[in-house]
Structure 1
């Protein structure tokens, strides 16, 4: 992994943890609910912006000079998001069937057949349901895939010369219309309207920063942006401001060279960042199992130490994410790419020579 991308990969883990803790408080019986935890869902905006930034970094140079670019891009993104999405959905389906079999009641409104198929079709960010269902964080995956479908068109726009001006205009429009239409809080209620400007913002951000060798005083900028994000979470600042701060973080993180850069480039954090998608997708299933078990009479004694239970649930989610990343996400991703990607002329020629 290029050193300049490693800090961004590590930051994905911290964003995922913020979302995980935010959701843990929905299940927890702990009496202390901090405002910064209540607003933890804004970390999804970090992923949306980073996605546009990273995809532009990887694919924009000579995108359409690569044979079969559009097909291979869509296949690669589908292979990235879909296997662990379906795996987690099937785990929840098994949980629902097993619960009903042994006579344990489940939330019928959450686990409906129509919502299940909406998840399979990646439609949950399109307003097809009126409440959170099944693996509800997957609404963002629905939104992400929409952005992926638009990327091959957006990447053709010549951003380079006017990227900074376009980015400033987009930020201004976001503050005005984002507040007006409550874009920063949309999820199942047309969350696609939330991701499109943020994903485009990530693309513009990369185009704007690619002409700069490194951000000046990157460590100081990173610390200031981080403090502003934390203060914004603590004091309940409007969600519409967080994408601007996340964009600032993403812009300067690749330029970190000092102690912060070395910490965020450490292999342990980078590995956790690479596993963050699995963590994001599987944690609701783990919480459903663990917190459900804590309500039984055999384990109800643990309810007297809710914070301990919360820590155990979060640790279990991280452990499950490590397993699913290695055993499901990566193998399935490679399998799909190998079978569905269009092979280039060079690779086909090599294959023909290998077959004699």
Structure 2
């Protein structure tokens, strides 16, 4: 089997997107510190999650489509085992931390039943909390996206076994991307949800599944175009900037503009990933991408604790407070990645390999 290409630039973009989400969640506490234009940019950080969904579809198609298509149902246990080992251990550890935190708040009379509803805890343990089963985000809010990612993983074999996008012509693939983006927009209109961050418990699942599917098509296009000259990437990026620009001008709703704009960005980044002197291949950026899952999952609860300990009743933080929280998030992300995430993933993969009776393969 051919080794999976190393697209370090995409890992770096994942890290940048994770930190954009961090800035989104701290923005309300920085309105006295930062100028309004910066706060406005930070207020769109929720869109980074849409990039995650596209990137996930891209990477999963690249890593697993041929394995599943070639081996059929026999390949599914390994696929699901690998995905479980990748996302669940860190989620479980942070959720346990949230439970301890909620118990501490209850013991000190500062509990928030709305944020930590114990009757919904089984849904979070099963990672199905955002499958239309709840009315609000709770416990560790960012985990809603890995809940819907789990649903995408469960549906991916149907895509992998049902079709090979590479067998379709380029115009058909581009039309499919457009139709899926239009379908996503139509869904949000039907749900009376004006932006992609609207009513996540109701809209998040469809938001993920459609963009995950677009990501799989983008991977098929990349496989077709990856040997083309760099001008192809520039053209794709320029095309992606058109819907983005129209959205910024208020001429196109983000529910259709963002999937198209991010599709152009992702495809252009993949096509240029291995170019010489690519700034996205820098080791520090790549490392931020490696620890981005830990950053994404831990920052929200960490900020709740940080505000409880260090922020006064105004809810505002100064320069030192912001720098301190960002540094704390980075350090905790590094510790979780090296002490929990990667060791647990390796351990589970070894055990699953023994259980499945096959030699381990790199996911």
Conservation of the 8 A alpha-carbon contact between 2:170 and 2:221: yes
Match among 182, 202, 218 for residue 205 of structure 1: 218
Conservation of the 8 A alpha-carbon contact between 1:202 and 1:247: yes
* Structure 2 unaligned regions, length at least 5: none
Whole-Å separation in 1 of the counterparts to 2:247 and 2:294: 25
Whole-Å separation in 2 of the counterparts to 1:71 and 1:346: 11
Aligned 1:65-80 pairs, distance under 5 A: 65=70, 68-80=74-86
Question: Secondary structure of the residue that 1:60 maps to in structure 2?
Answer: helix
Conservation of the 8 A alpha-carbon contact between 2:243 and 2:260: no
Aligned 1:177-256 pairs, distance under 5 A: 177-182=183-188, 184-185=196-197, 187-212=200-225, 213-214=227-228, 216-217=230-231, 220-221=234-235, 224=238, 238-240=253-255, 241-256=257-272
Aligned 1:1-356 pairs, distance under 5 A: 4-28=6-30, 30=32, 32-33=35-36, 34-65=39-70, 68-103=74-109, 105-156=110-161, 157-162=163-168, 164-182=170-188, 184-185=196-197, 187-212=200-225, 213-214=227-228, 216-217=230-231, 220-221=234-235, 224=238, 238-240=253-255, 241-256=257-272, 261-295=277-311, 306-341=318-353, 347=359
* Structure 1 unaligned regions, length at least 5: 349-356
**What TM-score results when the alignment is normalised by the length of structure 2?**
0.84
Whole-Å separation in 1 of the counterparts to 2:148 and 2:137: 15
> Deviation of residue 346 (structure 1)?
6.2
> Deviation of residue 308 (structure 1)?
3.4
> Deviation of residue 168 (structure 1)?
2.5
> Deviation of residue 264 (structure 1)?
1.0
**What TM-score results when the alignment is normalised by the length of structure 1?**
0.85
Alignment CA distance shift 1:226-1:210 (3 Å): closer
Alignment CA distance shift 1:200-1:321 (3 Å): same
Q: How large is the Cα RMSD of the aligned pairs?
A: 3.0
Whole-Å separation in 1 of the counterparts to 2:9 and 2:224: 20
> Deviation of residue 176 (structure 1)?
3.0
> Deviation of residue 306 (structure 1)?
2.6
Whole-Å separation in 2 of the counterparts to 1:215 and 1:343: 45
